[in-house]
Amino acid sequence: MCSIMGYCSPSAVYEVFMRGFQRTISRGPDASKVVDTGEGYLGFHRLAIMGMTTSGMQPFQLDDSYVVCNGEIYGFEKWKEELKEKYVFKSESDCEVLLPLYQEYGVEMFAMLDAEFACIIYDGKTREFIAARDPIGIRPLFYGYDKDHAIIFASEAKNLVGLTDKIMPFPPGYYYKNGTFICYCDIAKTENVCQDDLETVCGKIHDKLTAGVEKRLVADAKIGFLLSGGLDSSLVCAIAAKKSSRPIRTFAIGMSEDAIDLKYAKQVADYIGSDHTEIYMTPDDVIGSLDTVIHLLGTYDITTIRASIGMYFVCKAIHEQTDIRVLLTGEISDELFGYKYTDFAPDAEAFQKESQKRVRELYMYDVLRADRCISVNSLEARVPFGDLDFVKYVMAVDPKLKINTYGKGKYLLRHAFEKEDYLPKEILWREKAAFSDAVGHSMVDYLKEYAEKIYTDEEFEHLRKTYTFARPFTKESLLYRSIFEKYYPGQAEMVVDFWMPNKEWSGCNVKDPSARVLSNYGDSGK
């Protein structure tokens, strides 16, 4: 994971730029560099993953143009091969291909990339800045305007606090050019419904996810895996274990007294033969981490904060106790194949519409959580379920096959990996437990109890009404919002709303985002 920033104005003040830029040095602790393009500053904090030598340091320069990129460009070798007759490559870095690609194809290049990335380009010929973000938003990018209306781009919202009045997330699948944001890929949109039959669909899901995992195993730095014991992370680990010549390293976290998933994570680890580490957290850890976690996240969303606490602590332990630099995770599966609450979808069309909405908003929630918890600990996140080819295919599958008519959620994903003994049957077919619940039901209970002690009912009603956007609706949500405002005053619109079940569906009009409150939670938490 790296950090990038661009202050796109010849009037930019270096000291002001640096004040914001230095706030995310943990994303790239290996080296830092800032260039003055003559039209503004570009900065890069490096976490070396590909091309570990100094020749891989950014900003990359080609003639009078520069680029900074936080990303992984998959299949970059083929681009270097294609372009080597015209360009001399000086490093093993994947991102070095970006400026040659830009010179050859212009902004059309962004739709050609198989990548998770955020980048800022300075075009030395036109003397303008171009920025872009991957179609899911796996790599973060924010922007704002200074008092002279100059645009500023940065990896995190915290870079821009005090430099702009309004901080906004850069929309995924867009590029910025000539003052305009242009969509180059709406990954949730499906032109034609895929008519493959069930077995063909499952076969392609198997092959495409396997390919997505395999390409993410390529790194010059050491790789680890977050393993919750749930279906998604377990599948990623199982595929990686089959593709690796030595035992992979897996990590799981739970509350000290009632971690639901630690036993399942260990069962998976034993089955796939991984080198497994368990990490525990206490009630004091949970409460004591709230300020830190909300500051690093830049959100007040209940689901995101709850799920981030465990992820933050497990990543912190990995950073402090190992030399691992890359982590593979299981995010994005839910948005593609369904949550517990999508079992309540009234029909296949409603399921698909909800899936599209969630995929388009992922960058504000689960994807944000994974990026921040991992990057603040100087690690890089890779998300196989976010593989572009995989996502495009699953989104195109007939929603009549994806909706839960099987008596088991995520049936397509489970069935796709049923034949080759990737996982024990009780793991492959186990009911889902939300990550924030699975680290221990007591964690969420502690948070609710803590918030109840802070506010009386009268204080809650008074204070919640001081917010007009995304108004807090529980004492816990008020607590999170008050901490958020301390670090990001007046920036609540960075997040569109609370991540909650679709209240329009029967059975989903609930006041807590936990799947535990749904009538179909079943044996998920056992």
Domains and CATH numbers, the chain: 3-183 (3.60.20.10), 198-517 (3.40.50.620)
Residue 383 CA to residue 390 CA, distance in Å, equals: 11
Q: Is the pLDDT of residue 435 over 90?
A: no
**Cβ 213 vs Cβ 243: under 8 Å:** yes
Q: What is the pLDDT of residue 433?
A: 58
Q: What is the mean pLDDT of the chain?
A: 94
Tell me: pLDDT of 401 over 80. Answer: yes
Per-residue pLDDT band for 520 (boundaries 50, 70, 90) equals confident
Q: Can you give the pLDDT at residue 434?
A: 52
Question: pLDDT-based confidence at 472, cuts 50/70/90?
Answer: very high
What pairs with residue 73 in β-bridges? Answer: 115
Q: What pLDDT is stored for residue 255 in this prediction? A: 87
Q: For 298-347, where are the alpha helices, taking DSSP H only? A: 302-321, 333-337
Can you point out the beta strands (E) in 148-240?
Answer: 151-154, 168-169, 174-177, 180-183, 223-226
* Each residue's pLDDT tens digit, 101-137: 999 999 999 999 999 999 999 999 999 999 999 999 9
In the prediction, which pLDDT does 432 show? 62
Q: What is the pLDDT of residue 389?
A: 98
Burial of 353 (0-12, 13-18, 19+ CB in 10 A): middle
On the question of pLDDT at 78 being above 60, the answer is yes
In the set 2, 315, 373, 508, the catalytic residue is 2
According to the model, what pLDDT value does residue 431 have? 76
Q: Across residues 433-462, what is the average pLDDT? A: 82
Please say whether the beta carbons of 232 and 226 come within 8 A.
no
One-letter identity of residue 177: K
Q: State yes or no: pLDDT of 438 exceeds 50.
A: no
CA dihedral 46, 51, 57, 61 (to 10 degrees): -130
475-487 helix and 290-297 helix, angle to the nearest 10 degrees: 60
Q: Per-residue pLDDT averaged across 405-424, rounded? A: 95
Element containing residue 252 per DSSP (H, E): strand 249-255
| CA atoms in the 13 A half-sphere facing the CB of 510 | 16
- Cα distances (Å, whole numbers) of residue 475 to 2, 429, 449, 461, 479: 36, 36, 9, 9, 6
Task: Check whether 441 has a pLDDT greater than 80.
Answer: no
The mean pLDDT of 332-352, rounded to a whole number, is 95
User: Which of 277, 303, 269 lies closest to 517 in space, CA to CA?
Assistant: 303
Clarify whether 8 is annotated catalytic: no
439 pLDDT band, cuts 50/70/90, is low
pTM: 0.95
Task: For helices 475-487 and 457-464, give the axis angle rounded to 10 degrees.
Answer: 50
Residue 169 confidence (pLDDT) above 60: yes
Do 510 and 501 form a contact (C-beta atoms < 8 A)?
yes
Average pLDDT of the residues in 75-89: 95
pLDDT tens digits, 267-321: 999 999 999 999 999 999 999 999 999 999 999 999 999 999 999 999 999 999 9
What span, in angstroms and rounded, lies between the C-alpha atoms of 225 and 249?
A: 6
* Stretch 64-73: mean pLDDT: 97
Residue type, 393: Y
What is the per-residue pLDDT for 51? 76
Which pLDDT value is given to residue 525? Answer: 38
